[in-house]
Amino acid sequence: MYDRFIFTKSMTIRAYADRPERPSDQVEIKFLQTLLDKAIEQGSVTQDNVQDAIKSCGVLNYDDLGMYTADEIVTRLKDTGNKLVGTLSRKQVAQLRKLRDLCLRVAKGNKALLWDIHNLWRTDPHKTRVRK
């Protein structure tokens, strides 16, 4: 479904370009990076991947998660993860990989690539556009 892929691209941008300060947001970023790396690696996200990403993000290791409890954050992570479950096409995987790489470069200070990220976010990998 294309809407799921748009959501996946949005989460990719958040996971690799955002540098949050709140512990609850840091946990979510670690979760998303783990899950999206798996999606890019294997071309799909499963319920097991969601559970593994929740375990690996360390949500239970934080003493202070701000105004949220660990259970509330786990619930939020499960909801997000469930929206990412599914199989991606090769073109979608390639686009996610490129988007992740651009976001990592922007996070290192290359702000000139922001427009490329915007354009890639808007592009449907299954529709080719021919310039005249």
For residue range 87-100, list pLDDT tens digits in order: 999 999 999 999 99
- Percent of the chain at pLDDT above 90? 48
Four-residue CA torsion sign, 47, 13, 102, 91: positive
β-partners of residue 87 are 44
Under the banding of pLDDT at 50, 70 and 90, the label for residue 127 is low
Residue-wise DSSP of 101-120: HHHHHHHTT-GGGHHHHHHH
Average model confidence (pLDDT) across the chain: 85
CA angle 14, 16, 22 (to 5 degrees): 65
H-state helical runs in the chain: 2-17, 23-42, 47-56, 70-84, 90-107, 114-122
Tens-place pLDDT, residues 42-61: 999 999 999 999 999 888 77
Between 19 and 46, the higher pLDDT residue: 46
Helices 47-56 and 70-84, packing angle to 10 deg: 140
Flag the least confident range among 12-21, 35-44, 67-76, 82-91: 67-76
CA angle 111, 77, 5 (to 5 degrees): 60
What pLDDT score was predicted for residue 86?
A: 94
- Percent of the chain at pLDDT above 70? 88
Cβ neighbours of 32 (radius 10 Å): 23
Rounded to two decimals, what is the model's pTM? 0.83
